[in-house]
Amino acid sequence: MRQNNKSIVIEELLKNKVISRAKLCKETNLNKATMTELIKELIDQNLVIETGMGFSNTQGGRKPVLLELNKNRGIIIAIEIDFNKILFSIHLLNGEIVLFESKKQMVDKDTIIQEILKIIEVVKTQTEFRDHEIIGMCIAVHGIVKNNKLEFSPKYNLDQVDIVAELKKTYSFPILIENEANAAAIAESTFKNETENLVNLNINSGIGAGIFMNNKLLKGSNGFAGEIGHSIYQPDGLKCICGNQGCVELYASTKALEDKILTVQNKTELDYSTIHDEFKNNSKVNEIITEGARILSIVANNIIVLLSPDLLILNGTLLRSIPEMLDMVKANIKYQYLNNTTIISSGLGERSVLYGCCAIVIKKFLNIKKAHLYISEKI
């Protein structure tokens, strides 16, 4: 009971940012004596700080002491590993990003541990973080995760190494691993959207869906839920490394569309600074994007028909660079009950997966079920 009450108080502190003891009692239905004990314990644990004085009520009296979560209690390391790039960030306990880096980097089972160790050392050598405890790290991967281990990964061979077990040989802080689409869905649920039923569709090197239903992340019996990129778009179509033929991500993922555009441009690397102009002025590029949006609308339609989420969020590099793609996707969906689902682009951009990793660690560290966090970026 005490731990449950403590979790409720922490959730309310996160939600309100700054709040008095009296208002905490009102919001949690806990009595004054219980609240006094819980706050003292949280202050002793350096999780909560007294941050100033509020306003007295209309009858006068003493001004209330305001409380807030101690964001400097520790730092979180968030890492996303795609087949050709690594993104990582450092967050404070309130979710605030204080460092972000992204680099193109091919990884495999022989190099991944060293690459992650390099990131941890970068964090530990940063002067401003030397006195901060690392309270946890979460690594997002493109593949099937079960029991904190990457079980299957069609994009790279990282499933041949137990990433967490190897890192635990060097570091004792909690290390978690999660599917990148699930992490993005957690981010959307934690930082942006209060709805209990949402699907986040990540469209990058593959296509994956993170599914929240009744405020719970759906993973399926073996962690395979949401692998919508491996649903069949073209029977007997292109051979996929998953074993199927005609998987939709071979036709409409960001990587698939990039490869088609590069063929038209006769280039080896896509210039995202000019891609929107290319979409506007190059008929062949426009045709590729238009067809990609049409295929994505089929994916979106199937998600809506199967799950009926309140919110469907699309996120991907091309979608962010060419905002018109979202309108094209929506225009292609003719389902008469579409109005029950709102379709939007992600407001978290390329950092959505990292925010999700951060939220996972915060909830575990604070032992809470729901975290209400807010976007705050110093970089």
CA separation for the pair 47, 362 (Å, rounded) = 12
User: How does pLDDT run across 267-276, given as a tens digit for each residue?
Assistant: 888 888 899 9
CA separation for the pair 259, 276 (Å, rounded) = 16
Instruction: Give the β-pairing of 75-81 and 134-141.
Output: parallel
**Opening angle at CA 143, ends 145 and 291, nearest 5:** 145
pLDDT at position 239: 94
Predicted confidence band of residue 289 (pLDDT cuts 50, 70, 90): very high
pLDDT at position 60: 55
pLDDT exceeds 70 at position 85: yes
pLDDT at position 125: 82
CA separation for the pair 140, 367 (Å, rounded) = 21
Which residue type, as a one-letter code, is found at position 251?
A: Y
pLDDT exceeds 90 at position 82: no
User: How does pLDDT run across 114-173, given as a tens digit for each residue?
Assistant: 999 999 988 888 767 777 889 999 999 988 898 899 988 877 888 889 999 999 999 999
Q: Give the percent of the chain with pLDDT over 90.
A: 58
Number of helices (H) and strands (E) in the chain: give both, helices first.
13, 15
pLDDT exceeds 60 at position 209: yes
pLDDT at position 379: 60
The pair of structure tokens assigned to 51 is 């941050």
pLDDT at position 158: 87
Predicted confidence band of residue 55 (pLDDT cuts 50, 70, 90): low
